[in-house]
Chain A
Amino acid sequence: MINQADINSIKTYGADVIQTKISRIEDGTRKNYFSLLPSPERIRESIPNSFVIINPMNTVGGDGYWFAENDKAILIAVFDCMGHGHFASMMARTYIKLLRQIIDEQGIFFPNQVLLEIHTAVQKKFSNSTAKKSLIGTGADFGIVRINKAIREMEFSGAKMNLYQVSDGKLNVIKADRIQVGEYFDHDHEYVTHIIDLKKQQDSKFYLFSDGVTDLMGGPENKKFGSARLKQLLESIYPRTMEDQKKEMVSTLGKWQGSNMALDDVLLMGFSY
Chain B
Amino acid sequence: MEVNKEEFESTCRLFIESVSNYFSVMTDHDSEINVPFLKDITQLELKQYTGMIGISGNKQGYVYFSANQDLFEELINIFIGIDDPDTDDLMDMAGEISNVIAGNIRASLGTNFIISVPLVFEGRPADLEFPEDTFVYVIPLTWRNHQAYVIVGLQ
- 1/0 per residue, CB under 8 A from B, across A11-29: the answer is 1111111110111111111
CB distance from A133 to the nearest CB of B (A): 6
A86 touching B99, Cβ below 8 Å: yes
Question: Which B residues lie within 8 Å of A28 (CB)?
Answer: 91, 120-122
- 1/0 per residue, CB under 8 A from A, across B97-136: the answer is 0010000000000000011111111100101111100000
CB < 8 Å A-B pair total: 129
15 contacts across the A-B interface (CB closer than 8 A): A14-B56, A17-B60, A18-B60, A19-B56, A19-B116, A28-B120, A28-B121, A86-B96, A87-B92, A87-B96, A90-B76, A131-B78, A133-B79, A134-B81, A135-B80
Query: What is the bound-complex CA distance between A32 and B91, given in angstroms?
Result: 9
B128 touching A25, Cβ below 8 Å: yes
Question: Which B residues lie within 8 Å of A136 (CB)?
Answer: 79-80
Shortest beta-carbon contacts, A-B, top 6: A129-B81, A15-B116, A131-B81, A19-B54, A86-B96, A15-B54
- 1/0 per residue, CB under 8 A from A, across B55-99: the answer is 111001110000000000000111111110000110111111001
* Chain A residues engaging chain B, CB cutoff 8 angstroms: 10-19, 21-29, 32, 58-60, 85-87, 89-90, 93, 126, 129-136
A14: nearest residue on chain B (CB-CB)? B114
Q: Is B28 an interface residue (CB 8 A)?
A: yes
A18 touching B114, Cβ below 8 Å: no
A133 touching B117, Cβ below 8 Å: no
Q: Chain A binding site: helix, strand, loop or mixed by DSSP?
A: loop
Q: Is B38 an interface residue (CB 8 A)?
A: no
A132 touching B78, Cβ below 8 Å: yes
A13 touching B89, Cβ below 8 Å: no
Query: What is the bound-complex CA distance between A18 and B76, given in angstroms?
Result: 30
CB distance from A155 to the nearest CB of B (A): 32
Query: What is the bound-complex CA distance between A33 and B30, given in angstroms?
Result: 32
Known: A17-B131, A18-B131, A86-B99. A27 touches B55 (CB 8 A): no
A59 touching B28, Cβ below 8 Å: no
Q: Which one of B27, B52, B57, B89 contacts A22 once the chains associate, using CB atoms below 8 Å? A: B52
Residue in A18, A60, A87, A135 with the greatest tally of chain B CB atoms within 10 Å = A18
Query: What is the bound-complex CA distance between A87 and B99, given in angstroms?
Result: 11
Query: What is the bound-complex CA distance between A227 and B115, given in angstroms?
Result: 32
Q: Which one of B81, B95, B155 contacts A60 once the chains associate, using CB atoms below 8 Å? A: B95
Query: What is the bound-complex CA distance between A23 and B88, given in angstroms?
Result: 20
Q: Is B3 an interface residue (CB 8 A)?
A: no
B119 touching A18, Cβ below 8 Å: no
B89 touching A90, Cβ below 8 Å: yes
CB distance from A197 to the nearest CB of B (A): 41
Q: Which one of A14, A26, A90, A135 contacts B57 once the chains associate, using CB atoms below 8 Å? A: A14
A87 touching B79, Cβ below 8 Å: yes
Q: Which one of B57, B116, B125, B130 contacts A12 once the chains associate, using CB atoms below 8 Å? A: B116
- Taking A13-B115, A21-B129, A87-B80 as known contacts, 20 extra A-B pairs with beta carbons closer than 8 A to each other, sorted by chain A number, are A12-B54, A12-B117, A13-B116, A14-B56, A15-B115, A21-B130, A21-B131, A22-B128, A22-B129, A24-B129, A27-B119, A28-B91, A29-B91, A29-B118, A32-B91, A86-B95, A90-B88, A132-B78, A133-B26, A135-B79
B77 touching A18, Cβ below 8 Å: no
Question: Which A residues lie within 8 Å of B114 (CB)?
Answer: 13-15
A133 touching B27, Cβ below 8 Å: yes
Question: Which A residues lie within 8 Å of B121 (CB)?
Answer: 25-28
Question: Which A residues lie within 8 Å of B99 (CB)?
Answer: 58, 85-86
Query: What is the bound-complex CA distance between A266 and B103, given in angstroms?
Result: 22
CB distance from A194 to the nearest CB of B (A): 34
Query: What is the bound-complex CA distance between A32 and B120, given in angstroms?
Result: 11
Question: Which B residues lie within 8 Å of A129 (CB)?
Answer: 80-81
Known: A17-B56, A22-B129, A135-B80. A10 touches B117 (CB 8 A): yes
B88 touching A32, Cβ below 8 Å: yes
Query: What is the bound-complex CA distance between A93 and B21, given in angstroms?
Result: 29
Question: Which B residues lie within 8 Å of A93 (CB)?
Answer: 88-89
